[in-house]
Amino acid sequence: MPKTVKPGPSVRTIPEGDDRPRLTCLDCGYIAYENPKIIVGAVCVWQQKFLMCQRAIEPRKGFWTFPAGYLEINETMADGAAREAKEEATAQVNIAGLLGIYEIPRISQIYFIYKADMEEPSYAAGPESSEVRLLDWSDIPWDKLAFPSVAWGLNRFREGGEPALYEDPGN
């Protein structure tokens, strides 16, 4: 029968040689590093219409976003953005380039937002979406967007140009 290892007591302390508090095991010295979450998403377009998903999950259930979510282990950022389009909107997309990086240090999140061309106008709500639509720019529900990063990504797409970096000022 395999032996069960019981973790020792952990405390938040500044480990030797470090400069910030970390959760550290007092018995073995293991340090639990907490790193930012990486979110990947894509502004997906079919003939100048934008693929938008109404969120079926919290946070911001009922609000609108382009397909986006957490990057998975062993996945490139572009592959993750394409996967999110498939998961949230059942859409097949070709990633066409990076629109920009959106940083939110106060909640330890970093967004990599891509532009993507839909392979065909085929889409449907995935498990995390209650509704999915292809919308003209003027029909995007700007007052019901789930997150500031959604407005930023859509506007960045419209501006075109080189990829941009934006740090959310927070509130």
Q: In this predicted model, what pLDDT tens digit does every residue of 21-33 receive, in sequence order?
A: 999 998 888 998 9
Classify domain 37-167 by CATH number: 3.90.79.10
Q: d(Cα 92, Cα 81) in Å, to the nearest integer?
A: 11
Stated pTM of the model:
0.87
Q: In this predicted model, what pLDDT tens digit does every residue of 74-119 receive, in sequence order?
A: 999 999 999 999 999 999 999 999 999 999 999 999 999 999 999 9
Confidence of residue 164 (pLDDT cuts 50, 70, 90): confident
For the chain, give the mean pLDDT: 93
pLDDT of residue 168: 85
Where do the domains of the chain lie?
Answer: 37-167
pLDDT of residue 9: 78
Q: d(Cα 156, Cα 42) in Å, to the nearest integer?
A: 12
Question: Using an 8 Å Cβ cutoff, are 76 and 107 in contact?
Answer: no
Please state which of the ranges 5-14, 32-41, 110-119 shows the lowest mean pLDDT.
5-14
Residue 36 Cα to chain centre, angstroms: 12
CA distances from 44 to 49, 84, 119, 122, 161 (A): 8, 11, 10, 12, 17
pLDDT of residue 27: 87
